A = this chain, B = another copy of it.
Amino acid sequence: MKLDGFGEESCAVTESAPTENPAAPVDGIKADDKDSEEVLVPPLNFAMVDNGIFRSGFPDSANFGFLKSLGLRSIIYLCPEPYPDSNVEFLKANGIRLFQFGIDGCKEPFVNIPEETIREALTVLLDTRNHPILIHCKRGKHRTGCLVGCLRKLQKWCLTSIFDEYQRFAAAKARLSDQRFVELFDVSSLKNMPMSFSCLKR
């Protein structure tokens, strides 16, 4: 299934209807059991970006209980590789829609973050009907960092703060090419989109 306005190459959309028993525990988490001593395991590099927007590295089955607790409506997945079966099953069981934008995880100096793909992902990201939404790639550093960086630019953050945030997640793997991509990314065509700022949601 595809959404209008999304190119076949860059975005595949999977819509998952909830199963007949959406309350069935996928991984043993019982939402109503307040005394449960079970710990929650957020994915690698997990963080909250803004209201209804989260970021992380690739989630595996150990993270499903935690992801369930976020009540996600959608996931933006930024890698070209197919989604693993167990993750697809998790999405189906919880009625979570997958927006896949296949961006190659090239290494410097052969980096090529496709601007049009990031622009399409940003459009999905800014649509609050898709929230709560999780952005992830493999390690939550480069592709995810670029998309979040472009969101910050649209939110008028100064580049120093955008790069500070990017580097916090990329750490020793920070890439100047990613930061240059964010710096040069033109947000002017997106400026009239409704935006979910933290301050407007409370």
Q: Mark A155-185, 1 if CB is under 8 A from B, else 0.
A: 1111011001100110100000000000000
Q: Nearest chain B CB to A30's CB is how many angstroms away? A: 12
CB under 8 Å from chain B, chain A span 52-101: 52, 54, 66, 69-71
Number of chain A residues close to chain B: CB under 8 A = 39
Contact across chains for B199 and A157 when beta carbons are under 8 A apart: no
Q: 3 tightest A-B contacts by CB?
A: A71-B199, A39-B158, A48-B48
A160 to chain B: closest residue by CB: B41
Q: Does A34 have its Cβ within 8 Å of any Cβ on chain B?
A: yes
Interface residues of A (CB under 8 A from B): 34, 38-42, 44-52, 54, 66, 69-71, 131-132, 155-158, 160-161, 164-165, 168-169, 171, 191-192, 197-199, 202
How distant is the Cα of A41 from the Cα of B191 in the complex, in angstroms? Answer: 19
Interface CB pairs A-B, < 8 A, 16: A34-B191, A38-B156, A39-B156, A39-B157, A42-B161, A47-B47, A47-B48, A48-B49, A51-B51, A52-B202, A69-B197, A69-B198, A69-B199, A71-B198, A71-B202, A168-B171
Contact across chains for A40 and B71 when beta carbons are under 8 A apart: no
Among A39, A41, A157, the most chain B Cβ lie within 10 Å of the Cβ of A39
Q: Which of B44, B158, B169 lies in contact with A40, CB distance below 8 A?
A: B158
